[in-house]
């Protein structure tokens, strides 16, 4: 069965908009699990714009499925990961000015440092995924760097204008997923996926799990977290 990992970052975004104590992303994670999530994702950004250290530590205590920590490959974040011990770390590129993650990790540029970060985490029993663009070169480099999994950046496909661009972006995802499986990497996919774009993935059995946050939280604001997660769960079950 294809997995659904629910990213609760933007519950924290709503809380941080007022620097309030609610809504609590930890509570959202528990509801998401009850509604059928296979995992909970949180991205502890260096600037702490949404998820806070307290959230990650509490999530570690209460999440019953699996906790996936998205983070930059910095020594501060590696220290936190070694302490919190999530079931999976996903390394993502970060830029302070971006509104959201703008692309995958460039392993042509960061190959050596990423391999070191992967080693530091794996040597302590923490599996590592790398968030990368659907480019064959990046996938081969992720494999060479020793990653356990990759997460294919789906944002380019989700944002593509026009059917030709959309098709081209999707074909790259298909090729990337097939290549990664051939290299015996686990394959996750995420960023920008919504209740409509997820339907395009029907039949793409190479993808183990989808990581989806913003669209679920946006729907949850209107219909509630449980319904929003269940509706996404049903779409993924129908793929």
* Residues contributing to the annotated binding site for 1-deoxy-D-xylulose 5-phosphate: 9-10, 45, 50, 100
Contacts of residue 215, defined as CB under 8 A and 6 or more positions apart, other chains included, come to 192, 193, 194, 195, 232
Catalytic-role residue among 33, 70, 94, 151: 70
| Residue 100 interacts with ligand DXP (CB under 6 A): yes or no | yes
String marking each residue 126-145 x if it binds ligand DXP according to CB under 6 A: -----x--------------
Q: How many residues bind ligand DXP (CB under 6 A)?
A: 12
CB burial string 3-21: b at 16+ within 10 A, e below: bbbbbbbbbbbbbeeeeee
User: Is 110 considered catalytic here?
Assistant: no
The token pair at 63 is 């999440």
Check if 87 is active-site.
no
The distance of closest approach from Cβ of residue 79 to ligand DXP in the complex, given in angstroms and rounded to an integer, is 20
Its sign, for the CA torsion 211, 215, 216, 217, is positive
| 230 to 32, 37, 87, 203: CA distances (angstroms) | 8, 8, 23, 20
**Minimum CB separation from ligand DXP for residue 25, in Å?**
12
43 is an active site residue: yes
Q: Which residues bind ligand DXP (CB under 6 A)?
A: 7, 9, 43, 45, 70, 92, 100-101, 131, 190-191, 213
């Amino acid at each position: 069965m294809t997995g659904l990992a629910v990213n609760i970052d933007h519950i924290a975004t709503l809380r941080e908009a007022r620097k309030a104590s609610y809504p609590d992303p930890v509570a959202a994670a528990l509801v998401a699990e009850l509604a059928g999530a296979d995992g909970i994702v949180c991205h502890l950004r260096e600037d702490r714009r949404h998820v806070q250290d307290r959230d990650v530590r509490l999530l570690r205590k209460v999440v019953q499925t699996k906790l996936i920590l998205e983070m930059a490959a910095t020594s501060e974040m590696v220290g936190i990961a070694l302490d919190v011990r999530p079931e999976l770390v996903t390394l993502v590129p970060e830029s302070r000015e971006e509104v959201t993650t703008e692309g995958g990790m460039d392993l042509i540029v960061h190959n050596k440092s990423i391999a070191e970060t992967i080693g530091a985490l794996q040597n302590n029993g923490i599996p590592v995924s790398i968030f990368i663009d659907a480019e064959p070169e990046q996938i081969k480099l992720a494999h060479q760097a020793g990653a356990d999994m990759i997460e294919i950046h789906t944002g380019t496909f989700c944002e593509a204008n026009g059917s030709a661009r959309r098709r081209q972006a999707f074909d790259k995802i298909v090729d990337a997923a097939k290549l990664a499986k051939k290299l015996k990497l686990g394959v996750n996919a995420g960023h920008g996926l919504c209740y409509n774009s997820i339907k395009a993935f029907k039949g793409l059995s190479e993808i183990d799990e989808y990581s989806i946050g913003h669209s679920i939280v946006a729907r949850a604001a209107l219909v509630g977290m449980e319904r929003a997660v269940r509706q996404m769960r049903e779409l993924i079950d129908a793929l």
